Amino acid sequence: MKAQLILSDWTVFEGKSFWYEASTTWEVVFNTWMAWYPETLTDPSYKGQILTLTYPLVWNYGIPDFSQEDFFWLKKYFESDCIHMSGLIVSEYSENYNHFEAKESLADFLKSQKIPAITWIDTRALTKKLREHWVMLWKLIVWNDILDEKIKNPNIRCLCSEVSRKEIQIYWKWKKKICLVDMWVKNNIIRSLLSYDTQVTVVPNNYPFMDWSIEFDGLFISNWPWNPEKNKETITELKKAIKADKNIFWICLWNQLIALASWAKTYKLKYGHRWQNQPCKDLETWKCIITSQNHWYAIDNSSLPRTIEAWFKNINDDTNEWIKYKNKNIRSVQFHPESDPGPNDSDYLFENFVNSL
């Protein structure tokens, strides 16, 4: 069935809807990865977004068994229990798939979770427009459908509460105990921590983890790509944790939240970092690692207090990728060391964190 993408500036792209035919409205972003779409589709970081893929040759290896679990009872091939994005845009959808672990097509997977998708779109032209306008708000309308609803702007909502788990979950029981705050935690973060014989207690995003109701040796804050200033409750708890000299490791949004909790400033990037091949340099060793990233905001290095220093920087645009306290065991990283999708150059950071407890 025919479908349209209507931008907030009234630019129209026409294409074809495949399988689940419904209209939606949200923010549109792009990503340049060439594979790993089962992991990306279920990445909570894409809540409230319509994802555009720049690489045309995807979807040809199908979707693995969604019900299969790993050793830790987590979804084996996926990063959460459902698709979080609001829609998908591809250049050309492959009708046929072939992989020894494939159980269903992408179209069937999207239909089962009621996620609309559109193909035969000029994704190159679309991506160029998105790059120049940061992100844009869109309506995805299936032909003859009427969508009177106003375009939704996820930036004015605290979407974290909509995705974060509502109850405490405890994984494994070992000597070193980690409190993992679920902003939009990916399964591979939990796997990465558990692989070093730890007890991981996952708490909701607004949980008062500094009220001493749970015992932990280290505090780990999960990923979240939206505006960090929308998490005032968590920032308040983090200030308490910093004052109490807790061992803290933060990723993604938390690189910005730890800065805000320390009275530094953040700003929105012009193009954002949304791909799996971002080079970052260690300012201490001058070594380069390739990282996976998905964020729009960065720290203003000039606003950092004297107690904090930059550690990693992005080689492409010199933006801040890691900060650390000079006299505390508190560190935060902007990229995704847990990968899935992406390279595993930085997975050693989990081991460093556990060893520091």
- 5-64: pLDDT as tens digits: 888 788 888 899 887 777 777 788 888 888 788 998 998 888 878 889 988 877 788 999
- Is residue 225 very low, low, confident or very high in pLDDT (cuts 50, 70, 90)? low
Q: What's residue 233's pLDDT?
A: 76
pLDDT surpassing 70 at residue 144: no
Using alpha carbons, select from 295, 74, 293 the residue that is nearest to residue 190.
Answer: 74
- Is residue 356 very low, low, confident or very high in pLDDT (cuts 50, 70, 90)? very high
Q: What does the block give as tokens for 215?
A: 């015992």
Which phi and psi angles does 54 have, rounded to 5°? -85, -25
- 279-326: pLDDT as tens digits: 999 888 899 999 988 777 888 989 999 888 888 999 999 999 888 888
Per-domain residue ranges of the chain: 2-156, 160-355
| Stretch 121-134: mean pLDDT | 85
Q: What is the pTM of this model?
A: 0.87
pLDDT surpassing 60 at residue 148: no
Q: What's residue 122's pLDDT?
A: 93
* Assigned CATH for 2-156: 3.50.30.20
pLDDT surpassing 70 at residue 146: no
Query: Torsion angle, CA of 221/292/50/32, rounded to 10 degrees?
Result: 170
Q: Which residue has the higher pLDDT, 254 or 166?
A: 166
- Lookup result for tokens 């509460």: 161
Distance between CA 48 and CA 69 in Å, rounded? 26
Provide the phi-psi class of 252: left if phi over 0, else alpha when psi is between -120 and 50, else beta.
left
Distance between CA 140 and CA 118 in Å, rounded? 8
Q: Which residue has the higher pLDDT, 142 or 52?
A: 52
Distance between CA 257 and CA 279 in Å, rounded? 22
Beta 12-17 vs 288-291: how paired, if at all? unpaired
- Lookup result for tokens 């009872």: 73
309 to each of 102, 253, 264, 291, 302, how far by Cα in Å? Answer: 46, 17, 12, 20, 10
User: What is the CB neighbour count within 10 angstroms for residue 285?
Assistant: 7
Distance between CA 279 and CA 50 in Å, rounded? 26
- 83-121: pLDDT as tens digits: 988 889 999 998 889 999 999 999 999 999 999 889 999
Give the residue numbers marked as catalytic: 252, 336, 338
pLDDT surpassing 80 at residue 132: no
3-class SS letters over the chain:
CEEEEEECCCCEEEEEECCCCCCEEEEEEEECCCCCHHHHHCCHHHCCEEEEECCCCCCCCCEECCCCECCCCCECCCCCCCCCCCEEECCCCCCCCCCCCEEECHHHHHHHCCCCEEECCCHHHHHHHHHHCCCEEEEEEECCCCCCCCCCCHHHCCCHHHHCCCCCEEECCCCEEEEEEECCCCHHHHHHHHCCCEEEEEEECCCCHHHCCCCCCEEEECCCCCCHHHCHHHHHHHHHHHHCCCEEEEECHHHHHHHHHCCCCEEEEEEEECCCCEEEEECCCCCEEEEECCEEEEECHHHCCCCEEEEEEECCCCCEEEEEECCCCEEEECCECCCCCCCCCCCHHHHHHHHCC
Rounded to the nearest integer, the mean pLDDT of the chain is 84
- Is residue 217 very low, low, confident or very high in pLDDT (cuts 50, 70, 90)? very high
Q: Which residue has the higher pLDDT, 61 or 274?
A: 61
Q: What's residue 75's pLDDT?
A: 94
Q: Which residue has the higher pLDDT, 225 or 165?
A: 165
Q: What's residue 91's pLDDT?
A: 92
CATH T-level fold of 160-355: Rossmann fold (3.40.50)
Same CATH topology for 2-156 and 160-355: the answer is no
pLDDT surpassing 90 at residue 199: yes
pLDDT surpassing 60 at residue 253: yes
